């Protein structure tokens, strides 16, 4: 069974579609990168896929069920989104933040089980945050905060992860770490990953398929079509080829 199926999706704000007729499907362990210029609807598409924005038309199927029919808690057990920007309580500590990723798995008022804490600590270690686990998120850098939010997404342990510009604020070492974490989730947990990325090289590295958004439409490119996609972007942006990488 496909983990995510998108059929004839029109999405946007108000009644004017920003993107028309988007269709694709992803199986467990598959990955897709979404690329496109500013304002082409990358974040709008992710917001629609996450359920924050209602589709103007078309269907989204999550784990064999229509997305709008999946209850909020079950949806959060199957899918999560790493937002580009997120207002966080500055006083919350990194470990407490990561533990919030286990919220959809709580049962009644019993709170976190030892198994939940094990997942939290594993996510903290995976995202290189052991030394920062007791620090308030208001007292760490933007990149460290991004890693803490990634660790929360990892601890949530969903079958589908949506990442909106996940490499923002990250230095080269932690961009490599992020790539390693995503690959690990895909292979070990069969997690399906959709990432919105600005850098074309990153997009190719993160997924064998790339969804290029341009002029209100979405076109799928395989890794073998990389050069052809690059030429499209160069032509659309009207910049020298060496600026597109």
Q: Which residues make up the interface to another protein (CB under 8 A)?
A: 50, 52, 72-77, 80-81, 83, 85-93, 96-97, 100-101, 103-104, 106, 109, 111, 138, 156
Minimum separation from the CB atom of position 240 to another protein (A) = 36
Minimum separation from the CB atom of position 178 to another protein (A) = 19
Contact predicate 92/119, CB 8 Å: no
Q: Which is nearer to another protein, 1 or 72 (CB)?
A: 72
Q: Which two tokens mark 65?
A: 């069920």
Minimum separation from the CB atom of position 20 to another protein (A) = 25
Question: Residue 28, SS3?
Answer: coil
Q: Which is nearer to another protein, 66 or 228 (CB)?
A: 66
Q: Which is nearer to another protein, 35 or 194 (CB)?
A: 194
Q: Which is nearer to another protein, 14 or 240 (CB)?
A: 14
The set of residues, in sequence order, having a beta carbon less than 8 Å from that of 121 and lying 6+ positions away, is none
Minimum separation from the CB atom of position 103 to another protein (A) = 4
The set of residues, in sequence order, having a beta carbon less than 8 Å from that of 27 and lying 6+ positions away, is 2, 3, 192
DSSP result, 128-179: T-GGGTTSBGGGS-HHHHHHHHHHHHHHH--SEEEEESTTTT--HHHHHHHH
Counting every residue written for the chain, the total comes to 245
Q: Which is nearer to another protein, 8 or 91 (CB)?
A: 91
């Amino acid at each position: 069974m496909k983990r995510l199926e998108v059929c004839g999706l029109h999405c946007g704000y108000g009644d004017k579609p920003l993107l028309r007729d988007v269709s694709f499907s992803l199986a467990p362990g598959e990955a897709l990168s979404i690329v496109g210029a500013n304002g082409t609807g990358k974040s709008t598409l992710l917001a629609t896929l996450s359920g924050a924005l209602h589709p103007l038309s078309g269907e989204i199927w999550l784990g064999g069920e229509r997305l709008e029919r999946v209850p909020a808690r079950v949806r959060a057990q199957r899918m999560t989104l790493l937002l580009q920007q997120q207002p966080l309580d500055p006083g919350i500590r990194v470990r407490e933040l990561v533990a919030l990723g286990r919220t959809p798995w709580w049962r009644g008022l019993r709170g976190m089980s030892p198994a939940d804490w094990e997942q939290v600590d594993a996510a903290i270690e995976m995202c290189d945050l052991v030394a920062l686990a007791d620090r308030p998120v208001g007292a760490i850098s933007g990149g460290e905060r991004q890693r803490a939010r990634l660790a929360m997404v990892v601890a949530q342990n969903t079958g589908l992860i949506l990442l909106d510009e996940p490499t923002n604020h990250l230095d080269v070492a932690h961009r490599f770490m992020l790539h390693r974490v995503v690959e690990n989730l895909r292979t070990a947990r069969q997690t399906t990953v959709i990432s919105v990325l600005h850098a074309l090289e990153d997009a190719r590295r993160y997924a064998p398929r790339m969804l290029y958004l341009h002029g209100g439409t979405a076109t799928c490119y395989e890794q073998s079509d990389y050069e052809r996609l690059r030429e499209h972007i160069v032509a659309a942006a009207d910049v020298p080829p060496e600026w597109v990488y």
